[in-house]
Structure 1
Amino acid sequence: MPRATGLDHQKTRNYIPLISNEFNQPLLNTMANLEKGYFYEGRVVSPNFKNMSHIRAKFESIDFDCLLDINEQIVPRFVLEFYCQLIFTYNPEGQFLVNFVIQNKSFSLTLEEFGQLLKISFKGQASNTEMWSLNHLSVSVLSRGLYNTKPPSPTVIKTLIQVPRQGQETRTKNKKTIIVGENKILTREIQTHMKPWVDIIRENTICLGGHRDHVSACLCHMLYCIETSTPYNLAFFILKRMERTRFKPKELLPYGMLLTRLFKHVVSVSPELAFDHYLLHDRAMHPLAPHYERKTRADQGMKRPRESNASSSTTQNHPSLSRPLDHMVDENDDESFHSNSFSPSQ
């Protein structure tokens, strides 16, 4: 991801509300830490990707087309409150539960209900690891229960998604050359037709940002499932990703646009929670465009401007950046990506 777009998430500080003073201990410290961070909203996918019709056809085969259609505003306060009191458990039937509290009102959803509300796939193979090597897939999956999975072997995955190596691969880290293990795949080694898939999944599923020269084991697993039309449990991965975020206070808060869909559900079942301070904000992050359309400031011969404190003011000083709840656009409206996406100049 080019540096010019990889740092878009830092602009989200412009609209994160300060609400920690409304909480009592022990929640006060948790909320205060979350307010100091950034959001990772996800990216609207540009319809100008080369072979977009092919991408959609492949993604639709396992219900991954949900990643192509994410196009929501952000409700920053709801995101903060959601992560502040988020707890994961299992019920007696073995279903994974997500529990959260909004304005002292408790909510509990099964993984299946969560997937339906966010319109993401919730059946199929499930994996959960942040590690790079494909060796970790077999030890990261559940061996029993509702979400048990037997992932393909590293050899099978590599045969399908990796361009065959002609020799020893290396990468540079901290100015040191490191030999890449046989079951670790670099981004440049991914099959050409899959590289747009990598960008889309990284931005709307993994949501880490920054420069990434290699492909994680879970992402490799997803690529394999798309190519073979094998269902993959996206809801399980996203909930596990949220669970890890709870214990990493300095990490980006992911899934801003997806959580807007959850917010709409919360308000629909509890209209009394539709307070005026739940403002919707236009996205700070640029749409995810094809490789050939992306240009960094260095490519354009431009220097990155130094950000001043004035540029970090909240949206209370910029009312045009937010919209009240009653102006919320329904996700079923027939609006094109062009009409809702921002250009870099905006």
Structure 2
Amino acid sequence: MPRATSTDISLTKSYIPKVSKIPGISPTIAKFYKSIENRNIHEGRVVDQAYYKSNNIERLFTNIRFDCLFKINEPIVPRFILDFYSQVTVQTDEYGYLVISFMIQHEFITLTLAQFGQILKIPYNGQAVFTNEWDLGSLEYSQETEGPYSTDLPTPDDIRRLLELEHVMIDRTIKRGHRDHLPACFAHMLYCVVAEEQYNLAYFFVKRIEYARANPTANLPYGMFLTRLYRHIMEVYPHLDNGIYDIVDRVMRPLALKQTWRPRSDCGKARHSVSSSRHVISST
């Protein structure tokens, strides 16, 4: 993660409420919040329209419905984020479909992956895989080989060739004359962007939420997207909008990117340098 982004994330401590210290709160409820409220929130960044409307970028991302990553621009609801992450669980139903469940105050809410994607306005069909590893070979070991999310993934060599990565080392060095940070899943996302193959972003979101919930040191992702979930829930359950959810502006600075797209000589498609693309994807 870029150093400036890491600094921004740490600033979210300034507004994360200490729910566990509210007078009169039961010890049982306080325990749910205590480990969550000490995390940082990954708010996400807003991308300048002038950037994504230039050099064919908008077309490529729109073709697989990844324009949702450019158009997101929401404030943050920190108490709702804590409520969500304090009890969220991810399960699989009898047909193999993912189901995400969580408690907001006294309402138990269950959403299918499709419903979750529709509310967040992100794609919920296409290639599906999640790994927190950096090695491209980890994609094969993380993919589902049967059921509704069975995916015929590209090989590591396919990804390297299309993105023009010579080799991804275990120490996270990409031999392009500089060090880079490109996790395997993000490389796969970029492959889908360039190859114009649909990608199941809702699947990735839910799996990453599950990982963050289980990892006591992980930042809490998708701050802006969870604002959309907050608004949906308050519309469906208006009695929950009882004044405890303060909405705050993001503390992150706007995302500035260099325009480094150039046409591929072998297929005529536009290609974006990996060093800039990774920031667009990580803005979620």
Q: Normalising by structure 1, what TM-score?
A: 0.69
Q: Which of 274, 290, 301 is the equivalent residue of 2:241? A: 274
Q: Do the aligned residues in 2 keep the contact of 1:187 with 1:214 (CA within 8 Å)? A: no
Q: Do the aligned residues in 2 keep the contact of 1:122 with 1:234 (CA within 8 Å)? A: yes
Q: Any idea what the Cα deviations from partners look like across 1:108-147, whole Å, max 9, x if unmatched?
A: 0000000000000100000110111111111101001111
Q: Which of 218, 221, 224 is the equivalent residue of 2:191? A: 224
Alignment map for 1:12-27 (pairs within 5 Å): 12-21=12-21, 23-27=25-29
Q: Which of 174, 187, 192 is the equivalent residue of 1:186? A: 174
- The alpha carbon displacement at 1:47 in A equals 2.0
Q: Any idea what the Cα deviations from partners look like across 1:39-73, whole Å, max 9, x if unmatched?
A: 10111112232763511110011111100011001
Q: Which of 115, 120, 123 is the equivalent residue of 1:121? A: 123
Q: Which of 88, 97, 102 is the equivalent residue of 1:100? A: 102
In structure 1, runs of 5+ residues without a counterpart are: 170-179, 191-211, 293-346
The answer to whether residue 227 in structure 2 is matched with residue 239 in structure 1 is no
Alignment map for 1:1-346 (pairs within 5 Å): 2-21=2-21, 23-49=25-51, 52=54, 54-164=56-166, 180=169, 186=174, 188=176, 213-291=180-258
- The alpha carbon displacement at 1:29 in A equals 2.3
Q: Do the aligned residues in 1 keep the contact of 2:45 with 2:252 (CA within 8 Å)? A: yes
User: Aligned letter for 2:11?
Assistant: K
Q: Over aligned residues, Cα RMSD in angstroms?
A: 2.3
User: Aligned letter for 2:189?
Assistant: M
Change (3 A) 1:266 1:50: closer
User: Aligned letter for 1:11?
Assistant: L
Change (3 A) 1:232 1:90: same
SS at match of 2:153: coil
User: Aligned letter for 1:58?
Assistant: L
Which is further off, 85-94 or 95-104? 85-94
User: Aligned letter for 2:254?
Assistant: P
Change (3 A) 1:2 1:89: closer
Aligned residues: 257
Q: Do the aligned residues in 1 keep the contact of 2:88 with 2:101 (CA within 8 Å)? A: yes
Q: Do the aligned residues in 1 keep the contact of 2:41 with 2:223 (CA within 8 Å)? A: yes
Q: Any idea what the Cα deviations from partners look like across 1:243-298, whole Å, max 9, x if unmatched?
A: 01111122111111000000001001100011212111011111111138xxxxxx
User: Aligned letter for 1:82?
Assistant: F
- The alpha carbon displacement at 1:214 in A equals 2.8
SS at match of 2:71: coil
CA distance in 2, matches of 1:188, 1:276: 51
Q: Normalising by structure 2, what TM-score?
A: 0.84
Identity %: 41
In structure 2, runs of 5+ residues without a counterpart are: 260-284
Q: Do the aligned residues in 2 keep the contact of 1:78 with 1:263 (CA within 8 Å)? A: yes
Q: Any idea what the Cα deviations from partners look like across 1:205-242, whole Å, max 9, x if unmatched?
A: xxxxxxx8231111111111111111010000010000
